[in-house]
Amino acid sequence: MSISTLSELLEQGQSAFVCYDLGRRIQSIDAATFRAIEQQQAPYPYPVQGHACFAVVFWPQLADQRQEPYLWFLKFPVDERGLLEQAQVLQFVTSVLTLLGNQITHALDDAQQQQLQQSPFLFTPAEEKRAALHAQLSQRWQREPSQHFAKAQLILQQPDDWQQLGVQGLHDVCARLAELPQCQHAIADRFAAYPVPLRQALAIALEHQQLPDAMVAPLVQQLTQAPERSELRADLLRSLASRANHGAVVTALNTLLPTASVDELVICCARLWQTFDPLQTEHVALQLLLQTLAAQDNHVFAALISDLLRLPSLRPHLMVTLQRDDLPHSIRQAWQQFIGRH
């Protein structure tokens, strides 16, 4: 049997596995979707800089549940349609088979470990993304959170000694907010008043988790009241990333987009792109976003339009909008300059 995909490699090696997206937000990808992406039957939905970023977590099918799983952080290029470049995946699969055969869950010796780590398709995500992934996995498998979990809860409710906060504990709390009403209330009430380093770390942790319903309205209210072009407003945008298609978030974005800073526009495009997808929301802010982008430096417009065009769910709507006859002059001019350079 010819093995050409990661799923086939893992199944042939008698491994169970789960897959997570590591691109824009940490979120699981179900097995059927992952196989469709591998076989180019569906685009990879969340590309970053032209790449698909995965965390593949696997373990022997007959292993004790307490055994620590294996973990690959993988990065593969995608084409402009978002389809995975299969030749690159096959190159990685072939290298693993050459190195390990089908025994991919056997312990590696030092030479094998070093050779595997030299693969151009393996990468090391930022600490925050690793922490978010581990928090989601421990919750998924009903394992105990890290030793920093209890301390993180206390600090979020009374941030006097916030410098003692462990990053993993913060992510563990954010992954379990649905079970922690006191922390929900504390964050919703105190977010704007937290010390800046704590608030920024919290915003990053929140963007990778599903924000509970009860927290959306208070954070949106703070977003609408935050000073224009402020770090606080940027942090609030990140914290609301998981609720980008919520009506209150869409309404707030419609209000703030005209005065958005470049940093805020980057967050909107990279984390809240669903706001601009007419299939996701009733009140489409796509043209308003384009007007704001067109008012920026040409390089900013080019970078963010290129990023948005990489999103398979948004690309067709974006192209239709950009080709409308009644497109405002500023957007048309910025778009023509963009396609002239590309």
For the chain, 342 residues long, the average pLDDT of each consecutive 10-residue run is 87 90 94 95 94 94 73 94 94 89 70 85 96 96 95 95 94 97 97 97 97 97 95 98 93 93 96 85 78 95 95 92 92 94 70
- Of 149, 223, 235, 225, the C-alpha closest to 195 is 235
Measured distance CA(210)–CA(135) in Å, rounded: 12
The SS3 of residue 341 is helix
| pTM of the entire predicted model | 0.93
Instruction: Sketch the domain layout of the chain as residue ranges.
Output: 6-117, 127-341
Say what the pLDDT of residue 296 is: 96
Say what the pLDDT of residue 67 is: 72
Give the DSSP letter of residue 145.
Answer: -
Say what the pLDDT of residue 66 is: 63
If you classify domain 127-341 with CATH, what class do you get?
mainly alpha
Measured distance CA(189)–CA(212) in Å, rounded: 14
